[in-house]
Structure 1
């Protein structure tokens, strides 16, 4: 590998160095697996406070626990499969395919003889070593072998075995949550099917192409799936209440009213709110969450100890949402075609600033325009004299900030 900057390399040099780095990465990964195998044979974690190597690795680096578990799991498998381990360490196959082949050889159909397993191992390694082969090709070969040798007494095939499922949701940088999982074929297909329509491109009404990347569309679809499940009230009771997000913020932070701020002279303005699972979030996001939810006010003393708990207040009733669906037809933002069932009710004047929960202070907004536009940019919205929505773009979009009429279905004309 050279020491020249990337801009100094021609096309052939770029390709050559990338391939060199791929080989170097595999060599480092191979070395890590060898060292972890050696750690299994020694008490290297004694007195360190860690129950397992994966936990130690996670606690000592910035690697996610899921990645650490996969690496340690590969080391365990290769300890039991020396032939597969040899192919991996020689660079014939990569870590993912090594894990596939080793897992099958450790859990073959019951009526496969040792000679049959050896033969299958050789076939799978030969397939996995080809540059054109991917994990799906190896998995398909394993399915054919399982069909040839398997029977009902062997139980569920590995690909459909839900007891092997794994799902990780871990807090990362900036309070974001990293989601990783390994699902059986049936539940995986169920997830992909549910996400398919929710993550499809949605052109604007004027025909403008959806500019979201496929990854962002899938993420938006997954978030919409969670929102629909939550709104349907299907979640189980936990701790005596339905699943919910608890957001803690000071009244000073949550309001723009100077009169209210003056009533709280001893209250600090922290500039952020706090959630149980992901820690601090911005005040804008806290206000967005308060737009269409059940709110409970809890009065704290100067030491943060609760003094009084107010009644829950729902910010938008079911009849109000139905009326909003008739008036706005869906997301009220100009040109957006998101249906009303996918939208949240947004307070124009925030409820904490004295904004009433009535139709003249509520509009429907989709996740994109609710989360990313109205709460985090300079866009403004009002209800006009005709009681329809009017939007005002920021100066960066329109220096004159000409008003733009919001969406309105024909039935609301």
Structure 2
């Protein structure tokens, strides 16, 4: 496989890796595919070749690049709060589902911790209200956190404050406690 011409080293190698991943066989993998790419773009923009597609990693693609990716992938329409996917599972399920993970990735670019730049696609899903104490695995109670910040939220030496804006986007602010945990 030859590397694409032009661009810097990281971009060329990234494109080469993407090309490799796109051509991996999927007929003998376990229940999940090796990779999932979530791309959000307005339907009309996709077909008119206008605008950009936004990935769950925080990067943007042209509409043409998004169409090219769709040639070799299944297309999952993202329907938030629609009837086609069960996004709120209440106490029936301990873990958030893959459908919920996709929905979260369309709403967040990065980890919800204030100032963190880790892509939301790399995040772990945290229950705003702990499941162990009666919290639910509902989409509106889900907070995407990178591994580092997820560990801090559960660390008793840190205090976490979660705020939600008018659009339902959560921000987590962490502060180390001054005294013994309590």
Q: Which fold has the larger relative contact order, with Cα–Cα distance below 8 Å and residues 6 or more apart in sequence?
A: 2
TM over 0.5: no
Please indicate the TM-score interval, normalised by the length of the shorter structure. 0.3 to 0.5
Normalized per residue, the structure richer in helix is 1
User: Normalization by structure 1: what TM-score?
Assistant: 0.20
User: Normalization by structure 2: what TM-score?
Assistant: 0.42
